[in-house]
Amino acid sequence: MLTQKQYESLNREIEALYDQLADLMAENRLLTETVPTFSDMEVRGAIATESPVIDEEDGWE
């Protein structure tokens, strides 16, 4: 039996391990396969060269 704190800690650890696994899988794919890549400009178009607009009042800060 686990306490809630132990359970939550284990879940956080599992999530971190899944994130690491996904990163390693992506890295391995890029290193071993011929994967097409795209520049920022190709993906986002002209907006890629524009300076971002930061709204200080959006509630995220």
pLDDT surpasses 80 at 61 = no
Q: Which H, E and C letters describe 4-22, residue by residue? A: HHHHHHHHHHHHHHHHHHH
Distant-in-sequence, close-in-space partners of 29: CB < 8 Å, separation ≥ 6: 35
In the predicted model, what is the mean pLDDT of residues 47-56? 90
In the predicted model, what is the mean pLDDT of residues 29-44? 90
| Average pLDDT taken over every residue of the chain | 92
Contact 45, 37 (CB under 8 A): no
In the predicted model, what is the mean pLDDT of residues 1-9? 96
pLDDT bucket at 15, cuts 50 / 70 / 90: very high
How many residues are listed for the chain in this entry? 61
Give Cα separations from 47 to 39, 51, 53, 58 (angstroms). Answer: 13, 8, 11, 21
Is this structure's pTM higher than 0.85?
A: no
